[in-house]
Amino acid sequence: MHNSHATILDVIDGHREALVDLCLSLGNLPDYSGEEFAVGEAVVAWLGETGIEAWLQHMSASSVNAVGLIRGIGDRTDGARSLILNAHMDTQGARPSGGEEAERRLRGARLDDGRLFGRGLANDKAQLAAEMIAMRAIADAGIVLKEDLYLGATGQETWAPPSTAGEMAGWSGVGPAASQIREGHGARWLVEHGVVADYALVSEVSDFKVTVAQAGYLRLRISVPGNLPYTPGLRRKDGPSGSPNPFERAARVVLALEDWARRYESAGQREFWGGTLVPKAQVLEISPAGPPWTEESDHCHIFFDVRLMPDVNPAEIRHQVGKAAGESGIDVQVTAYDYKCGFVAEDAEPLLQALGNAHEIVVGGNLDYASALDMSMWRDSNAFNEAGIPAVGYGPPVADMGGPRGAAGVQRPVAVEDLIKLAKVFALTALSICQTGG
């Protein structure tokens, strides 16, 4: 291990309290998608106080990316390359009922027995804080990099804010806005507005394993026709469409969609050099097309979320879903309204080598590939790989407190010790890439 590497590890050990304070500070700021301004300001201010160049990228009056930069001297002769450390600032979900107390309980950050709790920490500001500490350690050690090291703290990873989702619904004729739409917007904005590098390292929960692929997604609106009668006047006939009520018809369609989703999950699995990808699909919500007794026909809309393998044709999936829904005996209309492609990282070998070496030094053992679950979802590495910037993911483990992953109120605490390790891995990886190219 180089002397500079040993120095960095010692510096990060000395920043343990600063890391905890940073997590609690960022974790207790508003972090709804499209409302990341306070977090972004805090990131830029903290980086500036440590002498790191930083600025905001504005996506709207309330939504931003925060960018940090340690400039290299521009010497690529020994293989040095530039690197983006990325984590997102927003956390999925809307304001819970119950006011400020419910908001603190469901989304606030706290430290308890060496573990950091908070919906927005595991996803994803604890990882962001570790990246910030890594950059600070490099700056504090006075190390001159040969190539640029960026921090990309991005907004709108989880979905577009409600106002934008509503606008998109109007543009596409979808009708009522679905609750999840347009993931990864902030990372795309980051790259499209000039933050580009040779590689990107995206941090999300992954049990100290590397993700080298991420699934895409296709979101479909399935319109179920019918008429909503005045209840005393309801007349049901025999057969699947015997009820005129569009919601009762939709119940049959949902069962057909669930059957398709089970087959899709089994038949659509992909084995590749980095592990296994498992596609899944589910109904996100069911909503009326409008007020009853207003239009000639009362529709209800089923919003269906399908995760896609990188090599899958979305038009074929839309066709399969339409066919499966039609098997319910109900005549439905299927409309795609949101699509993003998944990717397997290409030409990322120098980054994987640097990350693997850093992992061996800090965590110990060989760097393994992440679970199928961690690779079968959308993460922002897709946005970088789409832009031609080879990107992989790496992050800490979290404690399993029970309950479905992603559900509101289900805590996934991160151990402070694991975040210290994470910061060390980031710093060593950055030194390897930005000094010698891996």
State the Rg of the chain over Cα: 23
Q: Give the residue among 289, 326, 284, 323 at the shortest CA–CA distance from 306.
A: 284
Least confident interval from 255-259, 346-350, 398-402: 398-402
CB 47 within 8 A of CB 141: no
Q: How far apart are CA 10 and CA 273, in angstroms?
A: 36
Q: Is the pLDDT of residue 432 over 50?
A: yes
Residues 6+ apart with CB under 8 A from 371: 206, 207, 209, 275
Q: Is the pLDDT of residue 166 over 80?
A: no
Q: How far apart are CA 17 and CA 199, in angstroms?
A: 30
Residues 6+ apart with CB under 8 A from 43: 26, 54, 66, 68, 89, 128, 132, 151, 153
Residue 162: its pLDDT value, please? Answer: 55
Residue 77: its pLDDT value, please? Answer: 87
pLDDT band per the 50, 70, 90 thresholds, residue 149 = very high
Q: Is the pLDDT of residue 4 over 80?
A: no
Cis previous bond, 124, omega within 30:
yes
DSSP 3-60: HHHHHHHHHHHTTHHHHHHHHHHHHTS---TT--HHHHHHHHHHHHHTT-EEEEEESS
Residue 291: its pLDDT value, please? Answer: 83
Sign of the torsion angle spanned by Cα atoms 81, 362, 134, 126: positive
Residue 104: its pLDDT value, please? Answer: 80
Least confident interval from 152-161, 177-186, 343-352, 362-371: 177-186
C-alpha dist (Å) from residue 233 to 229, 236, 247: 6, 10, 16
Residues 6+ apart with CB under 8 A from 142: none
Question: Of residues 91 and 407, which shows the higher confidence score?
Answer: 91
C-alpha dist (Å) from residue 258 to 67, 153, 305, 328, 376: 42, 37, 12, 11, 18
pLDDT band per the 50, 70, 90 thresholds, residue 289 = confident
CA angle at residue 386 from 381 to 388, to 5 degrees?
100
What is the average pLDDT score of the chain? 91
Tell me what percent of the residues of the chain surpass a pLDDT of 70. Answer: 92
Residue 179: its pLDDT value, please? Answer: 61
Residue 176: its pLDDT value, please? Answer: 47
DSSP 177-189: PPSS--TTHHHHH
Q: Is the pLDDT of residue 165 over 60?
A: no
C-alpha dist (Å) from residue 429 to 43, 80, 361, 409: 21, 12, 11, 34
Mean pLDDT on 166-180: 52
Residues 23-62 have pLDDT tens digits of 999 999 999 889 999 999 999 999 999 999 999 999 999 9
Mean pLDDT on 70-78: 94
Query: Strand 210-211 to strand 391-394: parallel, antiparallel, or no bridges (unpaired)?
Result: antiparallel
Domains of the chain (ranges, CATH numbers): 3-214+343-436 (3.40.630.10), 217-340 (3.30.70.360)
Residue 172: its pLDDT value, please? Answer: 45
As to burial, measured by CB atoms within 10 angstroms (0-12 exposed, 13-18 middle, 19+ buried), residue 87 is: buried
Residue 85: its pLDDT value, please? Answer: 98
Residues 374-410 have pLDDT tens digits of 999 999 999 999 999 999 999 999 987 666 666 555 6
C-alpha dist (Å) from residue 421 to 128, 190, 347, 385, 418: 13, 27, 26, 26, 5
Residue pointed to by tokens 């596409």: 172
